Amino acid sequence: MNPDMVINFGKEALEMVLMLSLPMLIVALVVGVAISLFQAVTQIQEMTLTFVPKIIAVFVAMVLAAPWMVETLVSYTRRLYENIPMLLS
């Protein structure tokens, strides 16, 4: 196993983490901006108003994206296991 293969597997792992976390991050960003806009318009400055909707929205996004996330992770893991003989030589 040479350093290029290690760097390649590390790069793929980081890309996988970013790709799997992207749906929840986008939902949290959109909900956060919408709540901030609502607070600015209504001048309600309640701190807890931002957390509960974000948590609920991220949870819903996670439930909706779970099948895709599991399929992507299983595909990556299968590819990794298939490459074990190549890594040992």
DSSP sequence for 72-83: HHHHHHHHHHHT
Structure tokens at 21: 């976390």
Please give the pLDDT value at position 48: 81
Give the global pTM: 0.80
Structure tokens at 33: 């901006």
Say whether pLDDT at 89 is over 80: no
Residues 29-87: tens digit of each pLDDT: 999 999 999 988 988 888 788 889 999 999 999 999 999 999 999 999 999 899 888 87
* Number of other residues whose CB lies within 10 A of the CB of residue 37: 10
CB 53 within 8 A of CB 35: yes
Please give the pLDDT value at position 29: 96
Please give the pLDDT value at position 71: 96
